[in-house]
């Protein structure tokens, strides 16, 4: 591939040479020559670039950017011209638009309408002249006909990450011309490049949609034909050791591949649907290093409570929350801190997600009668100090885990509840009596994951009036419960912008917001008396307990995430 910067330099040299020749021949009052027009246009684009830097937004020379004809259909020609706005790049619902003036009321209105249609908008500044040239596309066959356009940029700063996404978007059509083995590998590597945790293959009537889950949010990447998908299905099943001739029942499998000397495990789930088999593939980096509590988002007294678990001699630690809330990651981090030469650690997992050196990890196999309850009883005969159970699913497992914690073992596990306090009645409703729950429980961690604001492109802005009241009231509540924090609402908070490093979403990575409930004599007494969840909550609030949303508000004020993210993961509408 020819280097883009080299082509730009050659074009500029050619333009400059042409300009010097035509300028010499130009007479006063004569029409401007093509060379002078080119020089004048370069000055305009340079000025627009400088203006974009001052505004803290990206710049685009939209007249030199190939635009997918599908994007032209997002706005009517008269709408685009009135608002001086042009969509020019998209991956799924992530949409980049070129605008002449971000403050233009008509431009703002159009952007608001696109956001209402669930588009994630990244604004790029373009010159008026560049947009005027781009609007000419509405008068060409490009606007009327759908044809393949590979997105390539002629800008000075080539956006490497965007190019990867553009290639992925075009990959859907290329899969018809490659082997199934190459196709699966290309998609896997594309998911790794974008930092995706899951690949979703979703058959629909006309085509098969492929989506990546990036930082907990699904993004459509491309569509593929049913013909190409049929070959991919056979390859995925072959790799995962599934039955190739079975397509009407659910199957699970697993395989691995190596990328940049890193072994990546892929956990595969397959279910039959009306239009074909649907696959979800979880990518697991077996060599991924364990996160420290601080990096995960724990701070203050909650951080200290996490560290206190490392000194635990016996008792049960439960991590709760919905699927995808980081429970397993938290338990692995605890195990990493407990792991030493003097401690025997055994895990029961379904499946084993990461390999931990020095830890005996056992894979559950329900089909062969090796479940959590039976496995735990077998594990306890191995003389462990610490046992990690992937999930407490039934009374048998809960009873065995509780008894183990009472007989000198540290037991770590997960449970599906919405909050820390709800874990107590959940165990009792499963059939575990209060006299076993009270002494066996030591710590309950309830958590969610919120997307972290991208440090590379975030912009500090005054807090909008619509958010001021909510944040002020939240800080007042937090300061009443934790007066030592003395939180003060800042005048400005970071705002998401979007750049190549965060795929123009404004977010990069995730951190946890949490509730941590540690048992003491008062709480255990309330459990033995079968007190209500509300009574327990009132008691722990006096001890400085903060809810998930309140912990999230602290991270908003600290500039780690946004109010919208906290609302999204705590299921509170705004």
Q: What is the pLDDT of residue 285?
A: 77
- State the span(s) of the chain assigned CATH 3.30.450.90: 162-285
* pLDDT above 60 for 22: no
Under a CB-based contact definition with an 8 Å cutoff, are residues 421 and 533 in contact? yes
Class of the CATH domain delimited by 162-285: alpha beta
How do beta strands 58-59 and 94-99 pair? unpaired
CA distance 167 to 49: 26
CA distance 19 to 36: 5
Q: What is the pLDDT of residue 256?
A: 86
Under a CB-based contact definition with an 8 Å cutoff, are residues 431 and 307 in contact? no
The pLDDT mean for the chain works out to: 83
- State the span(s) of the chain assigned CATH 3.30.300.160: 33-152
Q: Given its phi and psi angles, is residue 136 left (phi above 0), alpha (psi -120 to 50 degrees) or beta?
A: alpha
CA distance 181 to 14: 46
Q: What is the pLDDT of residues 423-459, one digit of tens each?
A: 999 999 999 999 999 999 999 999 999 999 999 898 9
The model's confidence at residue 516, banded by pLDDT at 50, 70 and 90, is very high
Q: What is the mean pLDDT of residues 480-490?
A: 89
Q: What is the pLDDT of residues 279-316, one digit of tens each?
A: 999 998 766 667 888 888 898 889 999 999 999 999 99
The model's confidence at residue 146, banded by pLDDT at 50, 70 and 90, is very low
- State the span(s) of the chain assigned CATH 3.40.50.300: 293-569
CA-only gyration radius of the chain, Å: 28
How do beta strands 208-214 and 217-224 pair? antiparallel
CA distance 171 to 173: 5
Q: What is the pLDDT of residues 97-141, one digit of tens each?
A: 999 999 999 999 999 988 888 888 989 999 999 999 888 888 775
Q: What is the pLDDT of residue 6?
A: 41
CA distance 50 to 30: 31
The domain made up of 33-152 has a fold known as GMP Synthetase; Chain A, domain 3 (3.30.300)
The model's confidence at residue 150, banded by pLDDT at 50, 70 and 90, is very low
**Residue by residue, what is the 3-state secondary structure of 193-239?**
HCCEEEEEEEECCCCEEEEEEECCEEEEEEEECHHHHHHHHHHHHHH
The model's confidence at residue 215, banded by pLDDT at 50, 70 and 90, is confident
Q: What is the pLDDT of residues 47-76, one digit of tens each?
A: 998 898 888 888 888 887 777 666 777 888
**Would you say the pTM of this structure is higher than 0.85?**
no
With H, G, I as helix, E, B as strand and everything else as coil, classify residue 370.
strand
* pLDDT above 80 for 486: yes
DSSP 153: -
Q: What is the pLDDT of residues 316-333, one digit of tens each?
A: 999 999 888 889 889 999
Q: What angle do CA 136, 142, 143 make, to 5 degrees?
A: 75
Which pair of tokens denotes residue 8? Answer: 């730009």
Q: What is the pLDDT of residues 231-262, one digit of tens each?
A: 899 999 999 999 988 899 999 998 888 776 67
Q: What is the pLDDT of residues 381-399, one digit of tens each?
A: 999 999 999 899 899 999 9
Class of the CATH domain delimited by 293-569: alpha beta
Alpha-carbon distances, residue 423 vs 253, 515, 516, 540 (angstroms) = 31, 12, 11, 14
CA distance 33 to 538: 80
């Amino acid at each position: 591939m020819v280097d883009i910067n080299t082509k730009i330099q050659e074009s500029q040299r050619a333009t400059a040479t042409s300009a010097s020749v035509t300028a010499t021949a130009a007479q006063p009052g004569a029409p401007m020559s093509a060379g002078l027009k080119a020089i004048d246009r370069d000055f305009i684009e340079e000025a627009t670039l400088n203006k974009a830097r001052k505004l803290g937004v990206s710049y685009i020379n939209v007249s030199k950017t190939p635009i997918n004809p599908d994007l032209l259909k997002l706005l009517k020609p008269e709408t685009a011209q009135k608002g001086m706005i042009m969509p020019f790049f998209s991956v799924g619902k992530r949409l980049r638009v070129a605008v002449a003036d971000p403050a233009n009321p008509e431009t703002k209105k159009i952007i608001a309408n696109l956001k209402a249609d669930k588009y994630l908008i990244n604004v790029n500044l373009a010159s008026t002249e560049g947009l005027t040239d781009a609007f000419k596309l509405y008068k060409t066959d490009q606007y009327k006909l759908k044809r393949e356009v590979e997105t390539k940029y002629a800008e000075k700063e080539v956006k490497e990450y965007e190019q990867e996404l553009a290639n992925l978007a075009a990959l859907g059509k290329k899969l018809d011309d490659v082997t199934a083995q190459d196709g699966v590998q290309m998609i896997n590597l594309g998911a790794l490049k974008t930092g995706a945790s899951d690949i979703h293959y979703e058959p629909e009537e006309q085509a098969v949609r492929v989506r990546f889950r990036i930082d907990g949010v699904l993004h459509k990447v491309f569509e593929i034909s049913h013909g190409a998908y049929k070959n991919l299905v056979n390859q995925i099943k072959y790799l995962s050791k599934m039955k190739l001739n079975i397509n009407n029942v659910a199957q699970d499998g697993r395989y691995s591949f190596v990328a940049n000397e890193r072994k990546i495990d892929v956990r595969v789930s397959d279910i039959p649907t009306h239009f074909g088999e649907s696959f979800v593939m979880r990518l697991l980096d077996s060599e991924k290093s364990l996160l420290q509590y601080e990096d995960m988002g724990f701070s203050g007294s909650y951080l200290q409570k996490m560290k206190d678990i490392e000194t635990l001699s016996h008792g049960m630690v439960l991590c709760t929350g919905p699927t995808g809330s980081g429970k397993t990651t938290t338990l692995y981090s605890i195990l990493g801190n407990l792991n030493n030469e003097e401690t025997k650690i055994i895990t029961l997992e379904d499946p084993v997600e990461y390999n931990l050196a020095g830890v005996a990890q056992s894979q559950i196999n329900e089909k062969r009668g090796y479940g959590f309850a039976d496995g735990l009883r077998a594990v306890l005969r191995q003389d462990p100090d610490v046992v990690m159970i992937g999930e407490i699913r039934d009374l048998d497992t809960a009873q065995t885990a509780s008894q183990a914690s009472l007989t000198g073992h540290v037991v770590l596990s997960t449970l599906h509840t919405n909050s820390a306090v709800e874990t107590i009645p959940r165990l009792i409703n499963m059939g575990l009596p209060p006299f076993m729950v009270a002494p066996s429980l030591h710590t309950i961690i309830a958590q969610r994951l919120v997307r972290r604001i991208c440090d590379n492109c975030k912009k500090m802005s005054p807090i909008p009036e619509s958010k001021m009241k909510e944040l002020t009231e939240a800080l007042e509540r937090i300061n009443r419960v934790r007066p030592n924090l003395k939180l003060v609402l800042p005048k400005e908070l970071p705002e998401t912008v979007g750049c190549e490093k965060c795929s123009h979403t404004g977010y990069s990575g995730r951190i946890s917001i949490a509730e941590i409930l540690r048992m003491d004599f008062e709480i255990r007494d309330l459990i033995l008396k079968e007190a209500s969840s509300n009574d327990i909550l009132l008691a722990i609030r006096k001890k400085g307990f903060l809810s998930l949303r309140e912990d999230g508000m602290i991270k908003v004020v600290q500039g780690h995430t946004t109010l919208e993210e906290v609302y999204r993961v705590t299921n509170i509408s705004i």
